[in-house]
Amino acid sequence: MGSRSTIEWTEVTWNPTTGCDRISKGCDNCYALALAKRLKAMGTEKYQNDGDPRTSGPGFGVALHPDTLDQPYRWRSPRVVFVNSMSDLFHAKVPLEFVRRVFKVMADTPQHTYQVLTKRSARLRKLADKLDWPSNVWMGVSVENSDQLVRVDDLRAVPAAVRFLSCEPLLGPLTELNLEGINWVITGGESGPNARPVDPVWVRQIRDACQEADVAFFHKQWGGRTPKAGGRELDGQTWDEMPRLAATH
């Protein structure tokens, strides 16, 4: 079964692949890498493949799990599904054929809404015209600082019904952010023992840009030692906006 999620903007997670490699500053304190190490030590079958210690770690080598592809067919009620919370579907080690199989499952189950998030926007853009894009698939890229704004340009070239940005952990201002063709933006501060602080000014700039561009804005957390440590309110309110093109539940 898919795992119920504590992530505020989704309901369940589904991991047809696991494992990844760090490629940018947003990956430095990767929660999934740390969790995979624990899951390997516990003997969890999906996390026994080790990755390159320079970029990955114990239990975090990229692995395909075709046996999980039938899970969404068995869910009785519609769900909002975060695809690959423990991996990146557009990692170079995930073959196009397997990506297509994941997309077929999503197309076959239109009652669910699928949220796919990648840091590998160049490969996403390269493969986009080789995939069928059902209307229940939301495609997003991670944008932690201004160095990664190119990912937004790549995302704009993808024919997804909903395009979104995950600016978490937000590590710097995004003053040059162009929201043309973007439907949703999530912001969040980093959490964990080595959490890097987020400046509220950076978050306000993104919120104001979203309001000006009529883009849904979701502030997930301020972060700190734990995800909930800093709360969620921005200027006295909780921001939980979602894209208008959400699948009907």
Asked if 212 contacts 178 with a C-beta cutoff of 8 angstroms, the reply is: no
Asked if 136 contacts 114 with a C-beta cutoff of 8 angstroms, the reply is: yes
139: which residues sit within 8 A by CB, 6+ positions away? 116, 118, 124, 133, 155, 158, 160, 162, 163, 164
Question: CA-to-CA distance for 1 and 69, rounded, in angstroms?
Answer: 10
pLDDT at site 248: 43
Asked if 3 contacts 13 with a C-beta cutoff of 8 angstroms, the reply is: yes
pLDDT in tens, 17-60: 999 999 999 999 999 999 999 999 999 999 999 999 999 999 99
Angle at 77 (CA atoms; ends 75, 79), nearest 5 degrees? 85
Question: CA-to-CA distance for 221 and 169, rounded, in angstroms?
Answer: 10
pLDDT in tens, 91-117: 999 999 999 999 999 999 999 999 999
Helices (H) and strands (E) in the chain, counts: 6, 10
The band of 1, judged by pLDDT with boundaries at 50, 70 and 90, is low
pLDDT at site 4: 81
Q: How many C-beta atoms lie closer than 10 Å to residue 175's C-beta? A: 11
pLDDT at site 247: 43
Instruction: Give the percent of the chain with pLDDT over 70.
Output: 97
pLDDT at site 249: 40
